Structure 1
């Protein structure tokens, strides 16, 4: 595939009025995603000396964000992104800075958890907001697939840039610097996106009382994507922990970053290619096929016995990541009305977030108990479970493409 063939469709996306600016604002607003969790660990450990406390506080923030994101998205579907996003960013900035203040001042521990939870709950799922704008701007399903693939690549870039940035700030400047930078960047990007009213999806007021309605989260296809993404996220969280542990066991901890970068690089390459591919079959078929490919590709991790094998197996596993994420997003987008789209996409990201949290915990316990090499069983099995969930839930996808879902 030539560069012109690969990148041409992506360039044409940005002929859409306002697309350059809402996508760029969304990228800035998403930078805190990998920065806040690691930043909270560096901040809390730096002030308390306890990694256990740091992990618990960071986990509280992540879980609150996973629950709060879809609630903000539901409000935006009803009242518009701009108005709600401004309120969310104000709460996010206030609670985030208050969290930093109470930790630095060595305030009561319960306040650390409370403010971490409030900070996480105040952060909307920016990726869902940007994808909803693309869906509103593009009528053609193939172009929406390309746009979703581009946003998947943006997510990869965020997770490549964010962790090194927050680590440098938190270790070389001050423990609070990384987390605070994430708060500021998220607020700037979020408010920038909120100001772009011309490209936000049309809001749909809540239905009148008295009727029976189901929220987007109960749509069968969305639930299946969420469940599958839970397994996918578990792989993500586990890989971060196991790769670092394995590199340390091999006496080359610096190579952990290279291995993880190639894992992300495989996903980036596959995402770009998948976004412009013209594939046969329904969206449901594509989702099932990519989920099975994801499950099979990760089984190479069982064979990891050296760093070169890790690099190869990691890159292969990475090739399967973006396709399953893009196909799942496309499937969820096709099964809900526009009035519930932002919430539906936010719930799929919640599945990923919960999986990452679970994967990190499971992999950490496995490394301690079995050693890092044996702990590759965690991401390998999680990938297999993700594929199995997609296959078991396949009958749910035989329903009509658009089920009645409340706004």
Structure 2
């Protein structure tokens, strides 16, 4: 008997789960607003470098000011998230965006006006401290809107792809504005876009997660937001973020050492492209095992995939090794977010997700510094050891912390998770 010929899987079949996400009322709008509000993430750091260097002529000063902004943002993000878990996203986000706009424009003013240097650092710190982690807010809205865990995985994968698009679009945009228009143009555009997107998201009250009043369970909520699973994911994400920060520096340095600096963008784009492809695939995959096992598996894959960077000795090898390493990025980020979501009560979810992003941000800052020192001391080719070792460290941290994941998840949520569920019955 002739074997029945199987039909090839069509793009519509693969992408169908993503399209069905946006049948949820309001989902398309809060996701789009979150994308606009996230554009400043790659724009502010690079924009601050271009602005400060353009006005002062010092890359060292520019890096120090940009690092100050990034570090205060990483510390302040979970604090904003905690307030939103207790008082609602809309109310707190409006306050944050107003502070963000005022401090950001004031920072541009003191730099362009050549005010004392301490004001540059002070206002950079305040600008970073005014910026909530928008990605965590959007993911919390997806959790509130979707009851099915597999659909939440798809939503997290989609947001991971959105993050990649942000980091593909943002740097070229800020570079063009900062170099061809004015040093302040890129940073200022990031401030304006972030404010517009943040206020747009704040107005969408129907998709906000329902909150518990601030006086109820404050201490237990804080402990839940920093539970064992959250701490392990944050620790592993330090290594993941170090890879991100190191790759940007080392790839640029290596391309320049070959006399082809323009091709650094191609290599980094393919690295991001690998993550984008893997994120789309992971989001619709129905994988066996628990969420803890998936996180451990993707962390190990991340650590192994990056070891190809040791073999880089030419641009084609860099592109191939970078694409392979990129394939491991989105799965470990999506599985980490899914694990946190499964282990943290809804009342503390936004803060917990923000802490994981803090781990990434601190790692990026450390990775950039370590890679820069390695390029200067060892040369660009040898400096690929930094992201390779950091990736292996992320995997080892995840494996070492595996016993922490044996604790059970909190009980099921019985209250409606968002105003959308109140209106449409889930």
TM-score range, shorter chain: over 0.9
Aligned to 1:379: 387
| C-alpha deviation, 1:130, in angstroms | 0.2
Aligned to 2:95: 87
Is the Cα–Cα contact under 8 Å of residues 80 and 203 in structure 1 kept in the other structure?
yes
Once residues 271 and 375 of structure 1 are traced to their aligned partners in structure 2, the CA distance between those partners, rounded to angstroms, is 27
Once residues 241 and 42 of structure 1 are traced to their aligned partners in structure 2, the CA distance between those partners, rounded to angstroms, is 16
Once residues 219 and 164 of structure 2 are traced to their aligned partners in structure 1, the CA distance between those partners, rounded to angstroms, is 42
Higher radius of gyration, 1 or 2: 2
Once residues 135 and 209 of structure 1 are traced to their aligned partners in structure 2, the CA distance between those partners, rounded to angstroms, is 21
Pairing 1:239-388 to 2, within 5 Å after superposition: 239-388=247-396
Aligned to 2:41: 33
Aligned to 2:230: 222
Aligned to 2:183: 175
| C-alpha deviation, 1:213, in angstroms | 6.0
1:159 aligns with 2:167: yes
Is the Cα–Cα contact under 8 Å of residues 336 and 403 in structure 1 kept in the other structure?
no
How many residues are matched?
A: 404
Once residues 214 and 176 of structure 2 are traced to their aligned partners in structure 1, the CA distance between those partners, rounded to angstroms, is 45
Length-normalised TM-score, structure 1 = 0.98
Aligned to 2:73: 65
Is the Cα–Cα contact under 8 Å of residues 62 and 120 in structure 1 kept in the other structure?
yes
Is the Cα–Cα contact under 8 Å of residues 229 and 386 in structure 1 kept in the other structure?
yes
Cα-to-partner distance string for 1:238-261 (whole Å, 9 max, x where unaligned)? 000000000011111111000000
1:237 aligns with 2:261: no
Once residues 201 and 84 of structure 2 are traced to their aligned partners in structure 1, the CA distance between those partners, rounded to angstroms, is 13
1:6 aligns with 2:18: no
Pairing 1:100-179 to 2, within 5 Å after superposition: 100-179=108-187
Instruction: For residue 139 of structure 1, give the secondary structure of its aligned residue in structure 2.
Output: coil
Query: 1:194 and 1:372, CA in 2 relative to 1: closer, same or farther beyond 3 A?
Result: same
Once residues 208 and 232 of structure 1 are traced to their aligned partners in structure 2, the CA distance between those partners, rounded to angstroms, is 35
Is the Cα–Cα contact under 8 Å of residues 219 and 403 in structure 1 kept in the other structure?
no
Once residues 212 and 205 of structure 1 are traced to their aligned partners in structure 2, the CA distance between those partners, rounded to angstroms, is 13
| C-alpha deviation, 1:209, in angstroms | 8.1
| C-alpha deviation, 1:5, in angstroms | 1.9
| C-alpha deviation, 1:214, in angstroms | 4.2
Once residues 31 and 306 of structure 2 are traced to their aligned partners in structure 1, the CA distance between those partners, rounded to angstroms, is 31
| C-alpha deviation, 1:401, in angstroms | 1.2
1:56 aligns with 2:26: no
Is the Cα–Cα contact under 8 Å of residues 73 and 128 in structure 2 kept in the other structure?
yes
Once residues 219 and 233 of structure 2 are traced to their aligned partners in structure 1, the CA distance between those partners, rounded to angstroms, is 27
Once residues 217 and 166 of structure 1 are traced to their aligned partners in structure 2, the CA distance between those partners, rounded to angstroms, is 34
Is the Cα–Cα contact under 8 Å of residues 298 and 380 in structure 1 kept in the other structure?
yes
Once residues 323 and 2 of structure 1 are traced to their aligned partners in structure 2, the CA distance between those partners, rounded to angstroms, is 22
1:198 aligns with 2:206: yes
| C-alpha deviation, 1:93, in angstroms | 0.1
Cα-to-partner distance string for 1:285-306 (whole Å, 9 max, x where unaligned)? 0000000000000000000000
Once residues 210 and 45 of structure 1 are traced to their aligned partners in structure 2, the CA distance between those partners, rounded to angstroms, is 44
Query: 1:311 and 1:277, CA in 2 relative to 1: closer, same or farther beyond 3 A?
Result: same
1:391 aligns with 2:399: yes
CA RMSD of aligned residues (A): 1.3
Is the Cα–Cα contact under 8 Å of residues 309 and 384 in structure 2 kept in the other structure?
yes
| C-alpha deviation, 1:204, in angstroms | 1.3
Instruction: For residue 376 of structure 1, give the secondary structure of its aligned residue in structure 2.
Output: helix
Instruction: For residue 204 of structure 1, give the secondary structure of its aligned residue in structure 2.
Output: coil
Unaligned stretches of 5+ residues in structure 2: 1-8, 413-426
Once residues 145 and 174 of structure 2 are traced to their aligned partners in structure 1, the CA distance between those partners, rounded to angstroms, is 34
Cα-to-partner distance string for 1:34-67 (whole Å, 9 max, x where unaligned)? 0000000000000000000000000000000000
Instruction: For residue 183 of structure 2, give the secondary structure of its aligned residue in structure 1.
Output: coil
